[in-house]
């Protein structure tokens, strides 16, 4: 019997920001699909709690750009092989009017999202190129697609993701490495629920614009990441897969 085209057997996935939320959901679903997974984050407690069979962890700050190569080597050690999948998921957020956003705050978001993901993608690319096999995924955002007030720095960072995906795909795909993004809509989480409770008007606006009329679940993003990393997506590169309940086309 042939294996499922959605199987990740034999793959090793490195997922940043993997201790909670979308990163953790992605780690669990990739492990379910057969991959050995290494999750990365700054706080050990949630990483340790999440760890289990085929799910290892490393405490690391992705903004420590000079240690990107070291992280890849450490991941290879704990997982028993060099990662064949990289999910650039680590990030931070800032809800502030543009005129109130400081240069340091703006720079902090760019460091965490853009420079960190570039450093890791650059560090992991040579091994993927050498085997002509690899999948790099960037977790983008609705802010990559349309304007949202009070998130200028976050929008700049997430918009950079989609540009990086297109450029990296043109460079790496001829060498066997696929590069894609996932743009989640509004996903149910404790943080999202807290934000809605403090801004009922925004919550109503989001749900009214979403054709499916509800928030997504973390697994909706996780399964999209499994698909993009699997043989089922072997001809998909340079794409941004929108998983948003239709909000980006809603009215």
Instruction: Say what angle helices 68-79 and 116-131 make with each other, to 10 degrees.
Output: 50
User: Strand ranges (DSSP E) for 96-214?
Assistant: 134-139, 177-184
Q: Which range has the worst mean pLDDT, 43-57, 65-79, 94-108, 196-210? A: 196-210
pLDDT tens per residue across span 189-241: 776 776 677 778 888 888 999 999 999 999 999 999 999 999 999 999 999 99
Mean pLDDT of the chain: 94
Average pLDDT estimate for 13-34: 96
**The sheet that has 177-184: what strands, in order across it?**
55-59, 36-41, 12-16, 85-88, 134-139, 177-184, 240-243
The CA-CA-CA angle for residues 55, 88, 140, to 5°, reads 130
pLDDT tens per residue across span 70-91: 999 999 999 999 999 999 999 9
Which DSSP state fits 151?
A: B
pLDDT tens per residue across span 178-200: 999 999 999 987 767 766 777 78
227 tagged catalytic: no
Q: Which residue out of 57, 154, 161, 223 is catalytically annotated?
A: 154
Domains present along the chain, CATH in parentheses: 12-242 (3.40.50.720)
Give this prediction's pTM.
Answer: 0.94
pLDDT value at residue 204: 87
Tell me the CB-side half-sphere exposure of residue 121, using CA atoms within 13 A: 25
């Amino acid at each position: 019997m042939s294996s499922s085209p959605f199987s990740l057997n034999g793959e090793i996935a490195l997922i940043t920001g993997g201790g909670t939320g979308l990163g953790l959901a992605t780690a669990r679903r990739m492990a379910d699909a057969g991959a050995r997974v290494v999750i990365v984050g700054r706080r050990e407690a949630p990483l340790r709690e999440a760890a289990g069979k085929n799910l290892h962890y490393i405490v690391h700050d992705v903004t420590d750009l000079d240690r990107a190569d070291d992280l890849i080597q450490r991941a290879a050690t704990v997982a028993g092989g060099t990662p064949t999948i990289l999910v650039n998921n680590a990030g931070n957020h800032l809800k502030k009017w543009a005129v109130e956003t400081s240069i340091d705050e703006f720079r902090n978001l760019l460091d965490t999202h853009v420079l960190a993901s570039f450093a890791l993608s650059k560090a992991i690319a040579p091994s993927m190129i050498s085997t002509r096999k690899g999948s790099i995924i960037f977790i983008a955002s609705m802010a990559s697609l349309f304007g949202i007030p009070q998130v200028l720095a976050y929008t700049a960072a997430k918009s950079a993701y989609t540009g990086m995906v297109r450029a990296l795909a043109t460079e790496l795909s001829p060498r066997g490495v696929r590069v894609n993004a996932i743009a989640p809509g509004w996903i149910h989480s404790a943080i999202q629920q807290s934000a809605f409770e403090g801004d009922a008007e925004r919550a109503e606006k989001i749900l009214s614009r979403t054709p499916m009329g509800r928030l997504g679940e973390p697994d909706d993003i996780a399964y999209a990441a499994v698909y993009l990393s699997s043989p089922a997506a072997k001809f998909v590169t340079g794409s941004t897969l929108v998983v948003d309940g239709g909000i980006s086309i809603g009215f």
